[in-house]
């Protein structure tokens, strides 16, 4: 276990905002976890678990507590005779490295989640998803440390109460569990068409005929590279707003009015990026944040240095979209507080 003091949150998060964290503790083996929480408890300090920092926002005043970072490593793929495979990955692994490994093994299930920044441990917390796939569809269980009774446990996918960008890990049981590892059930084969609209458009424009996991990964990676800034080089927090979900009646009304409503296995939704574009905000710079021209869900930190700037930009976007369409956007990134 490594312990550092007074580390700028801006250096640990991809939006590059945030003052110093009093302590940063790096977990290198499961036995470190209870020790890290004891370290915080002895000092009567709050704890925040930080993954890759891509979906997380820091505040100007910093964090007078302990940031715990998951550095647990390891990926194991156990192929079965029926074509399925059990994939076990430690929580500190980079999510995209796991996707790459499964695609190399010709396994389908998470290939459309290529290039999503963050760690394996963070993936089930938010139930990450893209292009018609999400973690809840393939997750078997997560191994966790339960801070309520200081024990190690295994929670099944059913235990996690998955919904759109939601699980008990970021809602009703927020802060209770530290994700040590995750197990997925994948299979050989490929995704079934029709795919998500932007992926189908790429296929048509590029005359693609191979839909193997590796090919879908290549296509999704190309789409994301064209639309989304790499947070390693351009400060952003990934998708900043959640998509808008509608009941069937509201979805029918919106379609009749010409709104592009997507009907997926998880329900009816309108892409919030489309709403932001139609509100005339694409490319606008608001309080130092630029609304990405090619993917309006992404806010790029061009020149802002404070959380106050972010809060002002966020509110301006929310107010503008609400005034035009009557939909209130919700922020996706979590905040260190």
Enter the DSSP assignment of 121.
T
**End-to-end Cα spacing for the chain:** 23
Number of structural domains, the chain? 3
What would the two tokens of residue 103 be? 């695609």
Q: Do 161 and 99 belong to one domain?
A: yes
Q: Which of 16, 165, 217, 290 does the annotation list as catalytic?
A: 165
User: Active site includes 332?
Assistant: yes
| Last residue in a domain, options 44, 70, 96 | 70
* 11 catalytic per annotation: no
Q: What is the mean predicted confidence (pLDDT) over 209-213? A: 97
Domain boundary among 70, 97, 126: 70
- Kindly report, residue by residue over 223-253, the tens digit of the pLDDT: 999 988 888 889 999 899 999 999 999 999 9
Please indicate, yes or no, whether residues 180 and 274 belong to a single structural domain of this protein: no
Residues 40 and 105 in one domain: no
Catalytic choice (114, 239, 272, 277): 239
Range 188-193, long-range pairs (CB < 8 A, 24+ positions): 188/83, 188/84, 188/85, 188/106, 188/107, 188/108, 189/83, 189/108, 190/108, 190/216, 191/108, 191/111, 191/112, 191/132, 191/133, 191/216
- Containing structural domain, residue 277: 236-335
| Residue 12, pLDDT above cutoff 80 | yes
pTM: 0.89
Task: Tell me whether residue 265 is one of the annotated catalytic residues.
Answer: no
> How would you class 179 by CB atoms within 10 Å of its CB: exposed for 0-12, middle for 13-18, buried for 19 or more?
buried
pLDDT tens digits, one per residue of 61-95? 999 999 999 999 999 999 999 999 999 999 999 99
């Amino acid at each position: 276990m490594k312990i550092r003091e007074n580390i700028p949150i801006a250096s640990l998060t991809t939006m590059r905002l945030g003052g110093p964290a009093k302590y940063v503790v790096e977990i290198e083996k499961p036995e470190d976890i209870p020790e890290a929480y004891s370290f915080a408890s002895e000092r009567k300090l709050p704890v925040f678990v930080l993954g890759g920092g891509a979906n997380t926002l820091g505040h100007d005043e910093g964090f007078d507590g302990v940031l715990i970072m998951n550095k647990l490593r390891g990926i194991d793929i156990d192929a079965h005779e029926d074509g399925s495979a059990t994939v076990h990955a430690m929580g500190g692994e980079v999510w995209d490295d796991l996707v790459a490994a499964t695609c190399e093994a010709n396994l389908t299930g998470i290939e459309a989640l290529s290039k999503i920044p963050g760690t394996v441990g963070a993936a089930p917390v938010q139930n990450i998803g893209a292009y018609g796939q999400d973690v809840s569809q393939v997750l078997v269980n997560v191994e966790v440390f339960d801070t309520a009774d200081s024990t190690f446990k295994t929670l099944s996918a059913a235990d996690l109460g998955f919904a759109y960008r939601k699980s008990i890990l970021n809602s009703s049981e927020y802060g209770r569990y530290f994700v040590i590892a995750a197990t997925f059930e994948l299979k050989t084969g490929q995704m079934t068409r029709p795919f998500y609209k932007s992926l189908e458009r790429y296929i048509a424009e590029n005359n693609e005929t191979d839909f193997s996991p590796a090919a879908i990964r290549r296509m999704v990676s190309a789409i994301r590279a064209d639309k989304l800034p790499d947070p390693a080089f351009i400060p952003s927090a990934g998708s900043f707003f959640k998509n808008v979900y509608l009941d069937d009646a509201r979805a029918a009304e919106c379609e009749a009015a010409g709104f592009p409503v997507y009907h997926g296995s998880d329900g009816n939704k309108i892409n919030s990026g489309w709403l932001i574009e139609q509100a005339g905000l694409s490319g606008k710079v608001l309080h130092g944040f630029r609304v990405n021209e090619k993917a309006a869900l992404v806010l790029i930190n061009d020149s802002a240095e404070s959380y106050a700037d972010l809060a002002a930009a966020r509110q301006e976007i929310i107010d503008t979209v609400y005034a035009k369409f009557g939909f209130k956007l919700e922020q996706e990134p979590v905040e260190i507080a």
